[in-house]
Each structure stands twice: as structure tokens, then as C-alpha cells.
Amino acid sequence: MTLPLSAERLKETSMLQPLPHEMILKWAEERADEIYLRQIIDRKFVDYSYADVADKALRLVSALRGLGIQPGDRVALASKNCAEWFICDLAMMLGSYISVPIFPTAGADTIEHCVTHSESKVLLIGKLDDSKAIESVCAKYPDLITIGFNYPSTPKCQYQFNTLIEQYEPSEERPTHEKDELMSIVYTSGTSGLPKGAMLSYGAFAWSAQRLIDHIGMRDGERLFSYLPLAHITERVYIFGSSVMAGIQVAFPESLDTFIDDVKMHRPTLFISVPRLWTVFQQRIQEKLPQRKLDLLLKIPFISGVIKRKLADGLGLDKARVLGCGSAPVSPALLRWYESIGLNITEAWGMTESFAYSTLNHPFRSDKIGSVGNPGPGIEIKIADDEEILVRSEGVFSGYYKNEEASKECFDAEGWLHTGDIGSMDSEGYITIEGRKKDTFKTAKGKFVSPVPIEKRLFELSNVEMMCVVGSGMPGPILLAVPHEFPNFDRERYERRVHKVINTINQELESHARIKGVLMIKDPWSIENDVLTPTLKIKRHILEKRYQEIGNNWPKDQLVQWE
């Protein structure tokens, strides 16, 4: 049984807290031949022991020194998840470099901004779905040193990772980093404009990862699966951070096409995802097993257990003891659906600025679905007078790189981090998020509307795959919806369903917040068409701008339009 840490014990452990680069050297000595990382290539595991990982990381330190890169220099890294990503991140720490992770799906403008704003001297490039954007940036900055991992999708670089590090002996340097020393510059996903560079310190990163390990009670023999972007704080702390701090095995997928099979190969005991992917998994199940039939089977005692086991097995999650969801708002209805098939999903909440670790519904409580859980050990939370959620802990960022003004706006005189999220807290300390302060818009009638609660309720009523309520400066809120494609699609029948759903929700809303119209979107939103961030959050400000005129000129007697 894992007990919560007392305030005194927390302070004591914080003082003694080892750092990630110290832990990999410890595991390499104590558990040298044990497998740490498992990379799937050609449907087989390519394994790296703790000693392998430490050796390659230390060789990379020597190689970068050989290329003239000095302690304190910035080193950028753009790749899909792979074993080399972990190795490089550890090498940055062992070499006293400052890592700058970049989303592998980022466009050329974002890549250029991250590289130039951070003044990175090296760009490590790995697995990519499309290399055009990164190639265009590399061509523009020929002085930028490029090192490529050995994957077919990696563009041609000045140096090849394996060949380069083989030419060097492992570094014998063993740096001692201060807790407040800069470890990494993590650029936010840019939901509201150009990404800002959040400065992460060694101490806050290690503290957050260790609190998570203590909170969940991670044990020997756990297995993690790393596939959400490592440039995002959630994966960096929850998977990379906890794995190296606690010595837990991690596997990486081969490709998006083989994703489910890859999960089945590893059978993780801890698995986190985002609402968008949990929704996709649900749709896959419902396509094979319609809801009406599923409901019937779940009512039969013996059959119910068999069905639940088969569904978990089909997703490769039959061994998972903790399932997580975060990074974007999730509908309670979706979590209830998973609970009905025996998969309890723990919702968590945090942000880049709080190392993604603030609240967690763990141990899982069914009666708290709809909340994002309560504060983890060592986390203080309070609700301000304007309903903004404030956080205070040792696991907060040091400010924004080269942006003192924005940094000052984040903290008040008492050290509270202003999160920008609005919400409420119940008597047991469980937090419910109502949306972002900046997402709340004012209609042309001068009335404020908070879109997130409306979207959550719409999802419960309709299960639409992707939606966004906009309305800034418009006569009334407009719902933008991407209808889920299915065989024998009947547009008229779909419209009748939409009318029914909108009538239901409009009866629940105040007059100024009622949905004035529904626009059915033709092309699904994606990272490529600039509507989704690399972490699959919707860029509301982009949609507001794109559909402003349609909202202003909506026909009076028409509820639904098709794009």
C-alpha cells in the first residue's frame, strides 16, 4: 500500500531528490543487463539495457564535445517516440546541454521559431511522418549541425547518430546540477498563437516525476508504452521522467498503422492517452459491436465478464492497472462508457508550466468522474475570486525564455501560478474545469459564453467526434461539428438527430448561450490544416477567425448548414 507523503517527509525527500541523469547511471551500475527500452522494428523488439542506454548517452556527450558544442548550449530534438529520444534527453543532462524538444508534426514556422528563439546549435532528427518542413528549415540554416537517427523516415543529415557515437569513447564527465538549473526549454503547443518557451529546471522536473511515482505507487515489473509526443510535457514527465526515476521498462511503437498490435506486443501496465484517441478506440469497438448489442451482452452476468476481457485484450490493455487521460477536456460520458466495459480511466490535469502534474483522480473514484481529481502530494490549489485555478508547488516552471513580461504575469506575489483555467473545487478538494479564461467569448449582444461546458454536454448527447463552439462578436454561438463518417450515411436522418440534440441543449442553456446554428465541416480537422495542435487540441482562435463571417450572416430560419 502506498501512503501519501506528509509535508515534512515531502520536504525531506525534496532535499535528497536525485536527478534523472544520476538515476540512469545508478541503474546502469546496479541493473546493467536488465532491459530498459524496447524499440519495435520489423515487428520485433530491439532491446536496450540500462548499461546500453547510459553508454550511448555518454558517447553522444563526447561526440557533441568533439563537434564544439559546449555546456549550456541548446540542442534541439525533433522525432517521433523512439529509444534514441530517451538516450538523447539523458545525454543532454549528462553533458550539461539544454534540450529543446520540437513536435515531430510541427510546421516549418514553428520549427524555425523553436530553433532560432532558443539559439539551438544542433538539431537531432529522428522518425518523422513528413520531413519536408524540417528539411526546409535545415536548408535555411546551413550552420545548424544536424544529426539523424537510423530510421527510413529520417531525412539526410550531416551526421548519422550511430556512426557518430561509435567514433567516441563514453564521456567521463559526471556533472552536478543545481535544483534550479535550467534543464530544458519546452515550447507550448500554441493553442493561442506562437509557442512560448517554458523553462524547466532539473529540480522541478525530478520532483514532479517522483511525486507521480509515489502517487500512483509504481512497482517493480511495471511496463510503460511511449507514443504521445515526447515534446509534450505529459509524456516527458509521466513516461520518460517516471521510467528513468523508478527504473521502469518502456516500449515504443513501430508506426501508427501497427499501433494496436504494438500495444498488444508490450501489454503495458500503465497507459495514458488523450481524449481524441480514447474516442477513436471507442468508435472502433462500436463499429464491430453496436451499442445496442453491447448493452445487451453486458447485462448477462457470465457473458459480461467475457466481453470485458475480450475488449481489453483487443486494445492490448488487459494487463493495465492504471489508465490515464489528459491534455484536453474529456466528456464524462466517454469515461462512463469505458467504465461500463471495465476500463476505469483516471483523468488528470496539469499544464506545461506545472509539469503536467497538478491533480489526478487516483485511486480511481467513479463518483468523481467529471472532475480532474484532487491535488497530488505536495500540490496546493485554490480557486481565485474570478474562478481561475491557482497552483503552488515545487513542480512549477521557472518562467518563459526571453519573455520576462509573460513570466511575471504567471505568478503572483505569494508564488501562486495563474493557470488560465477556470473551475471549481468540491468539499473533498476535487477540481472541475469549466474552460479557459481566454476561451470565454462575448457575443455581439455583449453577453459572455463559456464554450467548454456546452461542448462536453453536446458530446454526451451526440457523441460527435470533433466539435467547437465559437461566437466571439457573432449574434449568437455557432457549433462547428465534424460528423463521424459511417457506411450508408443518411444526411436527412443525421440532420433530424442534430435538431433533436440542439433543441435539448438549448432548453438547458440561458438565452444568450443557446446554439444559433450548426455548421457541418467538410474536411476533418488536423495538424496539417492548422486546426489542431501537435497534441490534438483545437485551436479555437483559428476557427473563430475562419468562420467569423458565416457566424455573422447565419440565416434566421436554418439551424443546420453543410460546408
**430-452 pLDDT, tens digit each:** 999 888 888 888 887 777 888 88
For Cα atoms 130, 132, 134, give the angle at the middle one, nearest 5 degrees: 95
What are the residues facing 469 on neighbouring strands? 479
Mean pLDDT of 377-403: 95
Encode pLDDT of 37-60 as tens digits.
999 999 999 999 999 999 999 999
Res. 3: pLDDT tops 50? no
Alpha-carbon distance values, 183 to 99, 244, 266, 532 (Å): 7, 15, 31, 28
Q: Which of 467, 146, 518 is nearest to 328 (CA)?
A: 467
User: Do 259 and 88 contact (CB within 8 A), yes or no?
Assistant: no
Res. 121: pLDDT tops 90? yes
- Return mean pLDDT, the chain: 91
Encode pLDDT of 494-510 as tens digits.
888 899 999 999 999 88
pLDDT of residue 486: 66
User: Which residue carries 506545461 as its cell?
Assistant: 352
User: Which residue carries 516552471 as its cell?
Assistant: 397
Identify the residue with better confidence: 170 or 538.
170
Four-point Cα dihedral 82, 83, 84, 89, nearest 10: 100
Percent of the chain with pLDDT over 70: 96
Worst-scoring range by mean pLDDT, 118-132, 347-361, 484-498, 515-529? 484-498
pLDDT of residue 119: 97
Task: Kindly give, in sequence order, each residue whose CB lies less than 8 Å from that of residue 233, ignoring residues fewer than 6 positions away.
Answer: 186, 198, 350, 351, 352, 355, 356
Worst-scoring range by mean pLDDT, 31-45, 136-150, 331-345, 453-467? 453-467
Cα–Cα dist 478/497, whole Å: 17
User: Which residue carries 497530488 as its cell?
Assistant: 376
For the chain, domains (ranges, CATH) are 17-244 (3.40.50.12780), 270-318+321-437 (3.40.50.12780), 440-562 (3.30.300.30)
User: Do 94 and 45 contact (CB within 8 A), yes or no?
Assistant: no
Task: Kindly give, in sequence order, each residue whose CB lies less than 8 Å from that of residue 502, ignoring residues fewer than 6 positions away.
Answer: 479, 515, 518, 559
Mean pLDDT of 211-219: 94
Identify the residue with better confidence: 458 or 237.
237
Give the cell for residue 95.
553533458
Mean pLDDT of 192-200: 84
Give the cell for residue 180.
534550479
Q: Could you say which DSSP state residue 448 is in?
A: E
User: Do 407 and 400 contact (CB within 8 A), yes or no?
Assistant: yes
pLDDT of residue 4: 46
Cα–Cα dist 556/22, whole Å: 65
Cβ neighbour number for residue 558 with a 10 Å cutoff: 9
For Cα atoms 482, 331, 416, give the angle at the middle one, nearest 5 degrees: 115
Mean pLDDT of 507-526: 89
For the chain, counts of helices (H) and of strands (E): 20, 26
pLDDT of residue 190: 61
Cα–Cα dist 82/357, whole Å: 23
Res. 534: pLDDT tops 80? no
Strands (E), 491-548: 517-520
Q: Which helix (H) or strand (E) holds 55?
A: helix 50-66
User: Do 400 and 200 contact (CB within 8 A), yes or no?
Assistant: no
Res. 7: pLDDT tops 80? no
Give the pLDDT band (50/70/90) at residue 396.
Answer: very high
Q: Could you say which DSSP state residue 300 is in?
A: S
Res. 236: pLDDT tops 50? yes
Res. 113: pLDDT tops 90? yes
Mean pLDDT of 230-239: 95
DSSP states of 72-133: T-EEEEE-SS-HHHHHHHHHHHHTT-EEEEE-TT--HHHHHHHHHHHTEEEEEE---S--HH
Q: Could you say which DSSP state residue 5 is in?
A: P
Give the pLDDT band (50/70/90) at residue 193.
Answer: low
Four-point Cα dihedral 241, 245, 251, 257, nearest 10: -10
Mean pLDDT of 222-243: 96
Alpha-carbon distance values, 228 to 50, 194, 256, 375 (Å): 22, 21, 11, 24
Res. 526: pLDDT tops 70? yes
Give the pLDDT band (50/70/90) at residue 327.
Answer: confident
Give the neighbor-by-neighbor strand order of the sheet with 560-562: 466-470, 478-482, 517-520, 560-562
Parallel, antiparallel, or unpaired for β 448-449 and 270-273?
unpaired
pLDDT of residue 1: 28
Res. 463: pLDDT tops 70? no
HSE at residue 202, side-chain half, CA atoms within 13 A, is 25
Mean pLDDT of 461-488: 83
For Cα atoms 171, 176, 179, give the angle at the middle one, nearest 5 degrees: 140
Task: Kindly give, in sequence order, each residue whose CB lies less than 8 Å from that of residue 319, ignoring residues fewer than 6 positions away.
Answer: 223, 267, 268, 269
Encode pLDDT of 301-311 as tens digits.
889 999 999 99
Peptide bond into 155 cis (omega under 30): no
Give the pLDDT band (50/70/90) at residue 2.
Answer: very low
Cα–Cα dist 124/137, whole Å: 13
The radius of gyration computed from the CA coordinates of the chain, to the nearest angstrom, equals 24
Q: Could you say which DSSP state residue 236 is in?
A: I
Give the pLDDT band (50/70/90) at residue 139.
Answer: very high
Encode pLDDT of 11-20 as tens digits.
555 557 899 9
Name the pTM for this structure.
Answer: 0.85
Alpha-carbon distance values, 534 to 188, 233, 327, 393, 486 (Å): 10, 12, 11, 27, 26
